[in-house]
Chains A and B, each alone.
Chain A
């Protein structure tokens, strides 16, 4: 148990150090700000031009601000296994006494911090520049919703990322998941706009519940009003972490048998 906790901590620290090894802090901050800003701006302009009252600029800006969490919490975690494979360190990780699942859990913990920072920046930008009214939101409730959403999304990312242990790369899968949320999770328009056969897929993404909860909190809802959404996300998150544990075991074994651990 203690060994796993140490492994998680060490992995999170390595993830933090390697973050700034290539891209310096200033460039990284510019990247975070500009990506969040321009993605929001793009959809705000589209929605402004479309003139749909059910999906106006503020609706779209708030949805995109919350979905910015996906970049770190899902894509970052999904890419972790692929990146190790890419730089040829996967076998070294397997050679340590810590199980692979805990190593990637540590990376997920670091990505959670980055994700929460990104979403905070995005929410501030959406409020300052795109008319999102957060004056009615209780800061503590908003923070709780974001932390729970992040917890569930990192679990989701771990599930997808586990496949990267076996496949040549998790980048393709990660890229799809990164952007699919913009379409399926009520980020840019209500889920009811989607065709009926596609709507159930929306509810498999924790982002759907996170976006809905933040919208309600922004309108003044308290913790009790969004508790059912939080419970769903906590349950989904817990299920994702268990599933990810099992998948890491399975894919690790498969990769060893196939000799594909360092295949890129």
Chain B
């Protein structure tokens, strides 16, 4: 179902693309960077843990922004360059190729977290010490993985449509809102909370905050609870994405729209 070799190759290829022309990371991370900086300005009078809260949320937004942006463009470019068909006739499953790319893109989103960290530290003078560094790193890895899987779910749709740029713009901000990365989930209206609970990014952000902020656990989940929910929702999304890839790949082949640009 998934090919580790294809994932590694796709990750490597995506990394090479980045190093050939690193400027392309700017359009992917500028939105989450500005959103986080604006949030820091709005939180500036609150001080303390709330500022760190925004920094952590900014990291999640950055990973998501880069995943959705770069992943949509990477399939879009394959379509434009006429290489999408060539990828699909290789023995490697397309889902593995896309997952490898998404993983690199989510990882690169950490550049945004670094930029936010520097702004927070030097422009706002925020103490960015985390309570449990090991727990933080594990939660960060889990969040990165969960966002890559989420990117893969949406990536499946780019196989059947030329309108990947429009889709990416529609999907970027809803996750910013629904993940509750920048504010507690209780701030969201009740009707929207089930959508938040279904997202792995929500639980990843929660685990990151529990590992970093002393006394933070508004939902009473504990660190392991938040991490477990991240893993569970990630697994569900992974299964959904594999099914979607299989279904939509078949549909694109029947429609003969793979090289339509």
Chain A contacts to B: CB under 8 angstroms = 22-24, 27-28, 30-31, 34-35, 38-39, 41-43, 45-52, 55, 171-172, 174-176, 178-180, 182-183, 188-189, 193-195
User: What are the residues of chain B within 8 A of A46 when measuring CB–CB?
Assistant: 38-39, 42-43, 182-183
* B26 partner, pick from A48, A50, A176, A194, beta carbons under 8 A: A176
Nearest A residue (CB) for B168: A31
Q: B23 at interface (Cβ–Cβ under 8 A)?
A: yes
- Is A193's CB under 8 angstroms from B44's CB? yes
Contact A49 B187 (CB under 8 A): yes
Contact A30 B26 (CB under 8 A): no
Q: Given the complex of chains A and B, what is the CA–CA distance between A45 and B35 in angstroms?
A: 12
B34 with A180: CB separation less than 8 A? yes
Q: Which of B38, B39, B184 has the most CB of A within 10 A?
A: B38
Contact of A172 among B27, B46, B170 (CB under 8 A): B27
Pair A49/B34 contact, Cβ less than 8 Å: no
Contacting residue for A188 out of B41, B44, B45, B163, CB 8 A: B41
Question: Which of B172-180, B208-216, B238-246 lies on the face that meets chain A?
Answer: B172-180
| In contact, B42 and A55 (Cβ under 8 angstroms) | yes
The answer to whether A183 and B30 touch across the interface, beta carbons within 8 angstroms, is no
Q: Is the CB of B42 within 8 A of A188?
A: yes
Contact B166 A183 (CB under 8 A): no
Once the chains are docked, how many angstroms separate the CA of A22 from the CA of B260? 10
- Chain A residues lying within 8 Å of B138, measured Cβ to Cβ, are none
Determine which of B27, B162, B174, B187 lies in contact with A175 in the assembled complex, contact meaning CB atoms within 8 Å.
Answer: B27
Q: B128 within 8 Å of A by Cβ?
A: no
Q: Which B residues fall within an 8 A CB radius of A?
A: 23-24, 26-27, 30-31, 33-35, 37-39, 41-46, 50, 123, 162-163, 165-166, 169-170, 173-174, 176-177, 182-184, 187-188
Docked pose: A195 CA to B184 CA in angstroms = 28
Of all A-B residue pairs in the complex, the 5 with the closest CB atoms, nearest first, are A38-B173, A175-B27, A179-B34, A49-B183, A50-B42
Contact B182 A42 (CB under 8 A): yes
Contact A22:B31 (CB < 8 A) given known A45-B177, A55-B42, A182-B38: no
Given A27-B163, A45-B187, A189-B41, A172:B169 Cβ within 8 A? no
CA distance A41 to B188 in the complex (A): 10
Closest to A187 in B: B38
Return B86 CB to nearest CB of chain A, in Å: 21
Query: Chain A residues with Cβ under 8 A from B176's Cβ?
Result: 38, 42
> What is the CB-to-nearest-CB distance from A211 to chain B, in angstroms, rounded to a whole number?
14
B42-A42 in contact (CB<8A): no
**Minimum Cβ distance to chain A for residue B53 (Å):** 9
Q: Determine whether the beta carbon of B166 is less than 8 Å from that of A182.
A: no
Q: In the complex where A38-B177, A49-B183 touch, is A23 in contact with B163 (Cβ < 8 A)?
A: yes
Give the docked Cα–Cα distance between A171 and B39 (Å).
Answer: 25
Cβ contact within 8 Å between B26 and A183: no
Instruction: Let me know if A172 and B34 touch, CB within 8 A.
Output: no
Choice from B37, B42, B166, B182 contacting A52 with Cβ under 8 Å: B42
Cα A31 to Cα B35 with chains together (Å): 19
Chain B residues, Cβ within 8 Å of A175: 26-27, 30-31
In the assembled complex, the CB of B37 is this many whole angstroms from the nearest CB of chain A, namely 6
CA distance A174 to B39 in the complex (A): 22
Given A27-B163, A27-B166, A172-B24, A50–B38 Cβ distance below 8 Å? no
Contacts of A23 in B (CB 8 A): 163, 165-166
